Amino acid sequence: MADISRVLFTAKEALLSNLTAINVTGSNIANVNTPGYSRLRPMFESVGTKDASSAQEQIGVRIADIERIYDRYLELQMVSQQSPVANYSTQKDLLQRIEGILNENIEGGINDALGNFLNAWGDLSVDPSSQAKRDMVVSSALSLSATFNQRSNEIIDIQMAADETVADTVSTLNEYLRQMADFNELIVNAESAGASASAIRDQRGELLGKISSIIDISYLEKTDGSLYIYLPTNGKALVENFNSWDLGVFRNPANNNMYDVVFAENPTDGFINDQIIGGKLAGLLEVRDRAIPSYLDSLNQTASAIVNKINDLHISGYDQNGEPGGLFFNVTATARSMSVNSEIMADTRMIVASSTINSDGNIAAQMAAIKNDQMYASLGSVTTTGAAASGRVNNIGQAYKDTTGAITLTRGAAPDTWTVTGSGGYSSLSVLSADGQTLSIDLNGNGTSDISFALSGAWGAGDTLSFSLAKNPNTTTIDGYFNSFISNMGQDVVNASRALDRETTILNQQTNQREQLSGVSLDEEMINLIKYQMAYSAAGRMTKTVSEMMDIIINLGQ
């Protein structure tokens, strides 16, 4: 009977082990569509002793472990790859929206509006006394201004939407970090108690990818099974053991009062925008803080050049009443606020078309030709009687013509007191701000720093600084500058799209590799299911055979 009971033990272990294997296989089949699921594999091992000479064999089988099939290095690669994919995807989405706004391939773009405006001046040059053609000049000017206003406002709307998305994304990231700390605790507690945490590890792997898609991270797994997650640029911890550290957003007055990212625990340590180099946050910050300001600057420079060139010509001639001309456009440095002088709109006789009171149309003809004029003037040599200085033009749309002679600035008794000798032909030229190290010049009285100088050495009262502006015939025209800007903006979209395609291809390759290793193959699982089912059935038949043998022995003893 003892020998038969050993056989029964073997049959029982076979039944239980294969039943467990069937359950594991069923779990794999059930999770065939579960994202991030890593298939499980039952690991069989033999148990018992074998001593044929003494007839003491007791041989069986058991499930030693249920193995989670995954590649840690491949998982690391996939997590890291989520970051550039999300970065470029975000950039592409935002840039394509801007491209749609600045689409010059459809009717009603800035090129069309500018062409209509300049053509209206050309028509007026032929018949300066025509009321209808003067009305057309005003109408086309209003259309041009409205087009610049609209384009600028729509781009700013995208910038503000991106700014709000930064705050929302940081909030989502914080929730993910807290979940990660909770997963760490669950895994550590389960595995320290000898239980399997494969399902939780799969969920944690998915969450890790979500975190990486928001912000670039580095991480390592500690011996207790918990993940330590930190920023790769500065080593700041985001998750360690069962704790997480939130990020926050803070309005930055120096950045148009938009949100910048900080560590919520220590916001006074400063913004960490420049330390975020991947993920959705990096894409948002890149477009919000680099691309959009660059595009707005190009729009502003184009609008400023048009405004300043038109105004400069307009004040140089005479209107239909024989009076010296005033401003045609209101003074501005931004496309968003470009507008026609209300006095011109109220009385089109105040439009200046001629250089004399004889209605010669010369000014209108020059207006029509500004599209082909050099857009800006460059800063010439800077001479000083005191220490040294170097300068640069900040707003090329404001530096739109040659200076008539040098402009001389003389320092007063205090570092912030300077006087200007001659305007060089620029209206309302003034010193905007000054201290011992810098000097800013406003060329047209619109409150912007158009030229800035860096001062070095010791400057005293009476020291002078002289400079001039001159148009280089090799500089671009208004038309060339704007079209180059549109081309560069389109190239940004192309670059983001290509980068996204490249990074997505890499991620897809890694995903396919993971699926081949860790993914569930229904064909393979069905084969395994049949194999385990047959083994279970055979063990059952073995049990039946043992039962019959025991019946025979019992009957023999009766």
What's the N-to-C CA distance of the chain in angstroms?
A: 15
Report pLDDT for 55: 54
Give the Cα separation of 78 and 509 in Å (integer): 10
The count of other CB atoms within 10 Å of the CB of residue 227 is 23
Q: Which residues pair with 384 in a beta bridge?
A: 465
Give the Cα separation of 321 and 248 in Å (integer): 62
Give the Cα separation of 227 and 230 in Å (integer): 10
Are 29 and 532 in contact by the 8 Å Cβ rule? The answer is: no
Q: For 257, left (φ over 0), alpha (ψ -120 to 50), or beta?
A: left
Q: Which two tokens stand for residue 408?
A: 């001389």
Give the Cα separation of 251 and 172 in Å (integer): 18
Q: Which residues pair with 416 in a beta bridge?
A: none
The count of other CB atoms within 10 Å of the CB of residue 131 is 11
Q: Which is it for strands 430-434 and 438-442: parallel, antiparallel or unpaired?
A: antiparallel
Report pLDDT for 381: 87
Report pLDDT for 3: 67
Are 334 and 193 in contact by the 8 Å Cβ rule? The answer is: no
Q: Which is it for strands 388-393 and 451-456: parallel, antiparallel or unpaired?
A: antiparallel
Report pLDDT for 557: 65
Report pLDDT for 303: 96
| pLDDT beneath 70, residues of the chain | 1-3, 49-58, 557-558
Q: Which two tokens stand for residue 27?
A: 């779990």
Q: Which two tokens stand for residue 359?
A: 């209605």
Report pLDDT for 427: 78
Report pLDDT for 270: 81
**Which residue, chain included where needed, has tokens 């890149």?**
286
- DSSP of 485-509, one letter per residue? HHHHHHHHHHHHHHHHHHHHHHHHH
Give the Cα separation of 379 and 468 in Å (integer): 6
Report pLDDT for 234: 86
Q: Which of 395, 376, 381 is nearest to 452 (CA)?
A: 395
Which residues fall within 8 angstroms of residue 120, CB to CB, at 6 or more apart?
133, 136, 137, 139, 140, 141
Question: HEC profile for 11-74?
Answer: HHHHHHHHHHHHHHHHHHHHCCCCCCCCCEEEEEEEEEECCHHHCCCEEEEEEEEEEECCCHHH
pTM of the model: 0.86
Helices 292-314 & 478-518, crossing angle to 10 degrees? 170
Give the Cα separation of 333 and 337 in Å (integer): 8
Q: Which is it for strands 218-221 and 378-379: parallel, antiparallel or unpaired?
A: unpaired
Give the Cα separation of 182 and 176 in Å (integer): 10
Give the Cα separation of 261 and 270 in Å (integer): 9
